[in-house]
Amino acid sequence: MASPNPTTRANRQYARSFILTMGLYVVTLPFAVGFVNILPEGDPLRYLIILVPVLPLLATLVVFMRWLRRVDEFQRKVQFEGFAFSMAVTIIVTLTLGFLERAGFPKLDTLWIPIMMIFLWGIGVAIANGRYR
pLDDT tens, 61-106?
Answer: 999 999 999 999 999 999 999 999 999 999 999 999 999 999 999 9
6, pLDDT greater than 80: no
Confidence of residue 32 (pLDDT cuts 50, 70, 90): very high
Q: Provide the residue ranges of all domains of the chain, joining segments of one domain with +.
A: 1-71, 72-133
Confidence of residue 5 (pLDDT cuts 50, 70, 90): confident
2, pLDDT greater than 60: no
Instruction: State the pLDDT at residue 4.
Output: 63
Instruction: State the pLDDT at residue 1.
Output: 55
Which residues lie below 8 Å from residue 123, measured CB to CB, with a gap of 6+? 82, 85, 86
Nearest alpha-carbon partner for 79 in 118, 124, 115:
124
Instruction: State the pLDDT at residue 7.
Output: 78
Kindly report the length of the chain.
133
Distance CA 97, CA 103 (A): 10
Instruction: State the pLDDT at residue 3.
Output: 58
Work out the angle at residue 82's Cα, subtended by the Cα atoms of residues 56 and 120, and round it to the nearest 5 degrees: 70
Instruction: State the pLDDT at residue 54.
Output: 97
Instruction: State the pLDDT at residue 117.
Output: 97
Instruction: State the pLDDT at residue 8.
Output: 87
Work out the angle at residue 68's Cα, subtended by the Cα atoms of residues 62 and 73, and round it to the nearest 5 degrees: 165
Distance CA 71, CA 78 (A): 11
Which residues lie below 8 Å from residue 131, measured CB to CB, with a gap of 6+? none
